[in-house]
Chain A
Amino acid sequence: MDLALLTPSVRGPGGLAHDSRSGVEALYSTGYWLLARDRVADAAKVFRVMLHASPRDERGWLGLGECHERSGQHHIALQLYGAGSVVAESGVRCLVARAQALRKVDLSEEADEALDQAERLAADRNDDDLVQLVVLARGTKKP
């Protein structure tokens, strides 16, 4: 498969040609499917390609970060979530993932700051689902 086919087209009026978007969706679905079956190494390959194809799609960063977290590489996951929160069009989920990863390495204050930032972004976007995600993440804080 030519990688260029997966690159979001810049010619369409909406910025994405149908074929490229469906390719990206197929990539994400495949990666998600592999993660659900604990095939972490395979899922990482797929999410890396997804990053090349659609770098502003937050899910690629989240997926690859999840792969590294499951491998115990929390610091690499933190780098990915941080980059995703900057590059992706909506960085709320990456900020939440980053907060949860920060807790795992005992950086609670930074985790709370990341959640505060996520809450502000979610409120700015008027996205109830994202706001609920932040609330849920706060509720899973370690005692």
Chain B
Amino acid sequence: MNAVAPVRQGPPAVPPPPPAVAPADAPVLPLPAPGSLPDDPLSFLYLFESRDRQLGVEDGSKKLIALQGERHAELRKEQDAIRQAVDAEQQHGFWDGLGDVFGQIAKVAAVVASVAAAVATAGAAAPLAAIAIGGAVLSSAALVDGELHVLQKLGVDAKTAGIVDMGMSIGGAVSSVGAGIAAGARATSAATTVLERGGAVVAGLGQVGKGVSTIEAGCAQARDDQAAADQIASRGRSEHLQRMILLLLDSTRGSDEQSGAIEKTIVSAKTIQNDTMAGVTSMKG
């Protein structure tokens, strides 16, 4: 029979202190509207998952360049159409339609900003269309330039046009902020500076969109405002953005489908803008 030594009874274990309860954050997410939840939210989710599975692998660099080329050509066509409509318009009422144009520009700027945010949060595991999104972000800058020239030829003063340009460049600035994720805490302070400036710009953009009463006819070009707008636009096209796109091209898959959807959104906004201005022209002509 084996003798088993009695287990020594040590001092009673001191229970660990209860974990410190962190003060709960204030709830920032508002409750959903009553009755808005789909009957079967899981089916709703499966829709998104099936879209993700449809994404295929593409040649990133060639696709990006091709998208940029297509959008530049498209923009030139729309500029010509707008210029023709403006030439035919002689009545003051034309400016009423222009107010809607700023609303469309604001919407496109918001789309670009959201696209940039989606790219920043996609990560390697989420197969978002990095190519198409990168192309959309880059082409937004081209869209901005095109709008500026058109607006100035319409007699909009350069300061107002510059506000529109800076508002559109928020998309580029936000996406370059996303590239700072790997830089850790330093990115936060840099982002703060960019986004605070962007905040002032967006406030101006909202004022422009509210009405055309602030638009003054004239052809004077404010060089200082234009230089500031160019500075922000060029920051949006900075090397950070380029490196981020290349990184994403290496680690994620692209999609023609996403590119087409985003492109349709921007094109439809521009088409409606063109139709609005042409409609005003025909009414007044």
B44 to chain A: which residues have CB within 8 Å?
26, 30, 46
A22 to chain B, nearest CB (A): 7
Is there an interface contact between B177 and A79, defined as CB atoms closer than 8 Å?
yes
Interface residue? B198 (CB, 8 A): yes
List, in ascending order, chain A residues with CB within 8 A of B51's CB: 1
The residue in chain B whose Cβ has the minimal distance to the Cβ of A22 is: B36
A122 within 8 A of B: no
With known contacts A86-B198, A87-B110, A79–B48 Cβ distance under 8 A: no
- Nearest CB of chain A from residue B241's CB, rounded to whole Å: 14
- Please name all residues of chain A whose beta carbon is closer than 8 Å to the beta carbon of B116 when the two chains form the complex: 83
In the complex, what residues of A have CB within 8 A of residue B268's CB?
Answer: 4, 7, 10
Given A45-B126, A51-B118, A85-B199: A133 and B28 within 8 A (CB)? yes
Q: Whole-angstrom distance between the alpha carbons of A28 and B80 in the complex? A: 40
Given the complex, which residues of A lie within 8 Å of B137, measured CB to CB? none
Verify A52–B111 contact, CB threshold 8 A. Answer: yes
Question: Smallest CB-CB separation from B180: which chain A residue?
Answer: A79
Whether A140 pairs with B113 at a CB distance below 8 angstroms is no
Known interface pairs A45-B48, A55-B110, A55-B111; A29-B41 also in contact (CB < 8 Å): yes
Bound complex: CA A132 to CA B37 (Å): 27
In the complex, the answer to whether A25 meets B36 with C-beta atoms within 8 Å is: yes
Taking CB atoms, residues of chain B closer than 8 Å to A94 are 28
Once the chains bind, are A79 and B104 in contact (CB under 8 Å)?
no
Which of chain A's residues has its CB closest to B31's CB? A32
How far does the alpha carbon of A22 sit from the alpha carbon of B33 in the complex, in Å? 10
Distance A139 CA – B50 CA, assembled complex (angstroms):
44
The answer to whether B30 touches A64, judged by C-beta atoms less than 8 angstroms apart, is no
- Decide if the interface of chain B is mainly helix, strand, loop or mixed: helix
The size of the chain A interface, using a CB distance under 8 A, is 65
Is there an interface contact between A30 and B114, defined as CB atoms closer than 8 Å? no
Interchain nearest-CB distance for B207 vs A (Å):
13
Q: Could you tell me if B181 and A64 are in contact, using CB atoms closer than 8 angstroms?
A: no
| Interface 0/1 of A3-35, CB less than 8 Å to B | 110011011000100000010011011101111
Contact B187 A83, beta carbon cutoff 8 Å: no
Beta-carbon contact of B121 and A64 below 8 Å? yes
Tell me which of A44, A61, A82 has the highest count of chain B C-beta atoms within 10 A of its own C-beta: A82
0/1 string, B261-274, CB within 8 A of A gives 1: 11011001100100
Across-interface contacts of B111 in A (CB, < 8 A): 7, 52, 55
Q: In the complex, given contacts A29-B37, A87-B170, what are 7 additional A-B residue pairs having Cβ atoms less than 8 angstroms apart?
A: A49-B48, A52-B262, A75-B185, A80-B121, A83-B113, A83-B116, A110-B189
- A-binding residues in B (CB < 8 A): 22-33, 36-38, 41, 44-45, 47-49, 51-52, 103-104, 107, 109-111, 113-118, 120-122, 126, 128, 170, 174, 177-178, 180-181, 184-185, 187-189, 191-192, 195, 198-199, 202, 258, 261-262, 264-265, 268-269, 272
Selected A-B contacts with CB under 8 Å, 20 pairs: A1-B51, A4-B261, A4-B265, A29-B37, A29-B41, A30-B38, A32-B32, A46-B45, A48-B118, A48-B122, A51-B118, A52-B115, A52-B118, A75-B188, A76-B120, A76-B181, A86-B202, A94-B28, A100-B28, A141-B23
